[in-house]
Chains A and B, each alone.
Chain A
Amino acid sequence: MFWTVTQSLLKGFGTTVEIFGLTLLLALPLGLLLSFGSMSRFRVLKWLVKTFIWIIRGTPLMLQLIIIYYGPGLVGTWAQGLEQSNFLVDWLASWSVFDRFVAVIVAFVINYSCYFSEIYRGGIESISRGQYEAGQVLGMTRTQVFFKVVLLQVVKRIVPPMSNEIITLVKDTSLARIIAVYEIIWAGQSFIKSAGLLWPLFYTGVFYLAFNGLLTVLFGRIEKKLNYFRG
């Protein structure tokens, strides 16, 4: 039985890792873009980005998942009910079947890029003006100063808050269950109904712990690796 449960949980855990990996891959660069927006000199852009971040950080991820999964469906159903048919209507109608997994990734990426962007912003703003000025008087362009001088210092400073957020992401993947994406919690829970067993659900914790343990070690390594300089 133990072996069957483990296999089943591993399958669910595969989805968990996929959500985690894809979210990270897309939200890390998108967060950087958002952070540039929130520090922009263009008032309108800055205001728009800040409002967006406020909305996303101010509402539960669970609610965002539900809206992103069911929202397009509502539009799609409405479009299907329309009499005439043209390109736009057909396109909207095609939304009625929105892939669950895609919805999860979209919601997670949006949510996490907002959190990441605030971490980036904090890191970037913590770098002293002297570093930018030193780059400037040496004839470097703003882009060169950012990528050659500032970025690595920012990375060093944001590793601890980033590791926090990334570890939270591992656990947040369990929210995908709310729109019926088969991940590890669901895999564990299904044994309650099918076999009357509760322990497989407890057992899922071992997977989370192991994975986060691995991440903790990894972040420790990165911190150690960046320890060669102060600043």
Chain B
Amino acid sequence: MAILEVNNICKRFQDNEVLKGISFSLEEGQVLSIIGSSGSGKTTLLRCITGLETADSGSICVGGRMTFDSERREKLSKAEKRENQLCTGLVFQSFNLFPQYTVLRNVTLAKELLVKETCRAEKCDKKEKKARLAAIEDEAKRVIESVGLSDKLASYPCELSGGQQQRVAIARALMLSPKVLCFDEPTSALDPEITGEVLAVIRKLAEEGRTMLIVTHEMGFAREVSNEVIFMHDGVIGEQGSPEELFDRPQSTRLKEFLSAALHA
């Protein structure tokens, strides 16, 4: 069974119909890239999947859990909402690190709050709580090491380069082990010479078999890292297939135009 199933998602903002019925699925351990020109609805789709935007109709299922269903009428409890939220992770274009916290704290904060809550719910004693919190810190250090920033644990975001900040943001998202990790144009805010370090981290995650959904403008990278590519145009899926199919044998004129424009940019 697919780990992510998106069924007929529609979304409009006032008179602007941004998504006109998007359906696709993603198998566990696969990487799916979404390409397309600005305004084609890529980011809105990602925001619907990660719960930042509520779609008007359709359903989304992550790892067997229905995280969104427009048919569902009853209200979700806070716990259910959070459970849904934690199914997916999102790395933003503009990083959105918490500026007042160190790299380590940025990565541990959310998990710490979560553990503190479960401790309170389970009424576990202080020793147990301390042990759990210590475990988080160890885990965070491992995750930060995996993105190559072990020497920056105590640095603040403003002391880091854009590429380093984005790698911290990736570590922060990984810390909650989402079933599907989403990237919203992760390198668009970076200088060309440092996009490489971020892409290297994502590449490594792909090799480790992490399920990822990547909205990107880096055509070369999308081709190399993805198992499947979706070309979005005007709120619908224009073409879908393996990277070779899409990049080497584009069918529609839309995609041909888009690719030649992207290549000559």
Contacts and interface: CB of A to CB of B under 8 A. Distances in A.
Are A and B bound to each other?
Answer: yes
Interface of A: 128, 130-131, 133-141, 144, 148-149, 152-153, 156, 228-231
B156 A130 contact: no
A229 B99 contact: yes
Given A130-B94, A131-B98, A231-B100, A137 B51 contact: yes
A137 B88 contact: yes
B113 A144 contact: yes
29 contacts: A128-B96, A130-B94, A130-B96, A131-B98, A133-B52, A133-B92, A136-B51, A137-B50, A137-B51, A137-B52, A137-B88, A137-B89, A137-B90, A137-B173, A138-B109, A138-B172, A138-B173, A139-B82, A139-B86, A140-B113, A148-B109, A148-B113, A152-B100, A153-B99, A153-B100, A156-B100, A229-B100, A231-B99, A231-B100
Contacts of A148: 109, 113
Contacts of B113: 140, 144, 148
B114 interface: yes
Nearest to A230: B158
Main SS at interface, chain A: helix
Interface of B: 50-52, 78, 82, 85-86, 88-90, 92, 94, 96-100, 109-110, 113-114, 156-158, 172-173, 176
B82 A134 contact: no
Contacts of B51: 136-137
B110 A131 contact: no
Contacts of B82: 139, 141
Contacts of A133: 52, 92, 96
A126 to B, nearest CB: 13
Contacts of A140: 110, 113
Contacts of B98: 131, 134, 149
A230 B94 CA distance: 15
Given A137-B52, A228-B156, A231-B100, 4 more contacts: A135-B110, A144-B113, A149-B98, A152-B100
B157 to A, nearest CB: 7
Contacts of B97: 134
B198 to A, nearest CB: 17
Nearest to A228: B156
Q: Which 9 A-B pairs have the closest CB atoms?
A: A231-B99, A138-B110, A134-B96, A130-B96, A230-B158, A137-B90, A229-B99, A139-B86, A229-B100
Contacts of B172: 138
B110 A139 contact: yes
A59 to B, nearest CB: 38
A45 to B, nearest CB: 22
Given A148-B113, A229-B157, A139 B100 contact: no
A229 B158 contact: yes
A137 to B, nearest CB: 4
Contacts of A229: 99-100, 156-158
B94 to A, nearest CB: 6
Contacts of B173: 137-138
B85 to A, nearest CB: 5
Contact of A136 (B52, B156, B158, B176): B52
A134 B90 CA distance: 8
Contact of A230 (B88, B90, B99, B109): B99
A136 to B, nearest CB: 7
A43 B50 CA distance: 29
Nearest to A134: B96
A157 to B, nearest CB: 11
Question: A134, A153, A228: which has the most chain B beta carbons within 10 Å?
Answer: A134
B100 A131 contact: no
B118 to A, nearest CB: 12
A207 B199 CA distance: 62
Contacts of B88: 137
A231 B172 CA distance: 19
Contacts of A137: 50-52, 85, 88-90, 173
Given A139-B82, A139-B85, A141-B78, A134 B114 contact: no
A136 B85 contact: yes
Nearest to A155: B100
A140 B98 CA distance: 13
Contact of B96 (A131, A144, A228): A131
A84 B96 CA distance: 67
